Amino acid sequence: MDYRRLIKFGNSSYVVSIPKDWLKKNNLEKGDMIYMNENSNNEIVLTSKIEETGPESLTITLDIDSFDETDIERRVTSKYLAGYDTFILQGEKTLREKQTFIRALLNNLMALEIIEQTKNKIVAKDFLNPSEISFKTIVRRIDTILRSMFEDLQNLSLEDDSSDLLRRDKDINRLAYLSERIVKKCIAYPPLAKRLEMNTSQLLFYREIIQQLELIGDEIKRIGRSILQSGQTAKKLPDYFSIFEKIHKLYLEVMKSIYTHDESLAYLLAREREKVLDMCNAALKRCKDPYLFSAYERLKTTVVLIRNLVRLVYREEGKYMA
Give the pLDDT of residue 153: 87
Give the pLDDT of residue 318: 58
Antiparallel, parallel or unpaired: β 7-9 and 13-15: antiparallel
SS3 of residue 126 by DSSP: strand
What is the CATH number assigned to the segment(s) 132-321?
A: 1.20.58
Domain boundaries, the chain: 7-47, 59-126, 132-321
Residues 6+ apart with CB under 8 A from 4: 16, 17
Give per-residue pLDDT as tens, 178-228: 999 999 999 888 889 888 989 888 999 999 999 999 999 999 999 999 988
Residues 120 and 97 sit within 8 Å (Cβ to Cβ): no
Give per-residue pLDDT as tens, 94-146: 888 899 999 999 999 999 999 999 989 999 999 999 989 999 999 999 999 99
| Mean predicted confidence (pLDDT) in 297-301 | 95
> Where does the pLDDT of residue 316 fall: very low under 50, low under 70, confident under 90, or very high at 90 and above?
low
Fold match between 59-126 and 132-321?
Answer: no
Handedness of CA 233, 239, 245, 251 (dihedral sign): negative
CATH match of 59-126 with 3.30.110: yes
Kindly tell me if the per-residue pLDDT of 46 is higher than 80.
no
Handedness of CA 46, 49, 54, 58 (dihedral sign): negative
First to last CA, the chain: 43
> Where does the pLDDT of residue 261 fall: very low under 50, low under 70, confident under 90, or very high at 90 and above?
confident
Compute the distance between CA of residue 263 and CA of residue 319 in angstroms, rounded to an integer: 10
Residues 306 and 254 sit within 8 Å (Cβ to Cβ): yes
- Picking from 172, 297, 303, 279, the residue whose alpha carbon sits closest to that of residue 223 is 297
Q: How far is CA 296 from CA 245, 252, 270, in A?
A: 13, 20, 20
Residues 6+ apart with CB under 8 A from 251: 146, 150, 216, 306
The backbone region for 13, taken as left when phi is positive above 0, alpha when psi lies in -120 to 50, beta otherwise, is beta
